[in-house]
Amino acid sequence: MRLSPNKASLAAILITTVILSVLILVSGCLEIFETGPDHLLLQEVKITRVIDGDTAYALFPGGREEKVRFIGIDAPEINHPQKGMEHCGPEAEEYTRRHLEGRIVWLEFDLAERDQYERLLAYIWLNIPGDISYESTRTNMFNAVMLTEGYAVQVVFEPNVKYVDYFTAYEAEAKNNGKGLWELE
């Protein structure tokens, strides 16, 4: 059975589209998101290098590497041009390095994608959470862990405020328990 010229052209376009889609997917040009609870979109990456307590490089599928700044937290500086090294800066950097470097994690993005330095802004999930609750976020999201362990303070930069209420409680918990930065308070 022969196809009419119009049907043959349509079939050729369809086959070409399928082949190109497969090639793009295999080459890693498309980002692949996993869906977590409550339609949470998560991007799997590998943390290749930690810069300090709240910044690291992430390797995306397809080979793109980006500097990622952790949303909602501010860890003490280790090499700031004006501030130099701050109290607990080396400890925060070492904690982040020990828990993230070389590890597969999942990034969650909020409303603003980048900061003024063009760093990608993200929440760092150590595991895909079963639900989005106070306890699940506290134990599965690295940003939250940094707050509960006292290696960072909460910082709010609108519009990225999805977990601001949780983060306020996690910081208060570390403060009340005298952890990390709050040890000498």
pLDDT tens for 125-144 read 999 998 999 999 999 999 99
- For the segment 90-130, what is each residue's pLDDT rounded down to a tens digit? 888 999 999 999 999 999 999 999 999 999 999 999 999 98
Mean pLDDT score, 46-70 = 96
Q: How far apart are CA 137 and CA 107, in angstroms?
A: 13
| Residue 42 near residue 36, CB atoms below 8 Å | yes
Question: Which strand (E) or helix (H) includes residue 173?
Answer: helix 164-176
Mean pLDDT score, 49-54 = 94
| CA angle in degrees (0–180, nearest 5) for 136-52-120 | 70
Q: Which of 1-10, 40-49, 107-116 is predicted least confidently?
A: 1-10
Q: How far apart are CA 16 and CA 13, in angstroms?
A: 5
Q: What's the confidence (pLDDT) of residue 22?
A: 40
Q: What's the confidence (pLDDT) of residue 149?
A: 94
Give percent of the chain with pLDDT exceeding 70: 72
Q: What's the confidence (pLDDT) of residue 29?
A: 39
User: What six digits make up the tokens of 108?
Assistant: 């969650």
Q: What's the confidence (pLDDT) of residue 80?
A: 56
| Residue 148 near residue 174, CB atoms below 8 Å | yes
Mean pLDDT score, 75-94 = 72
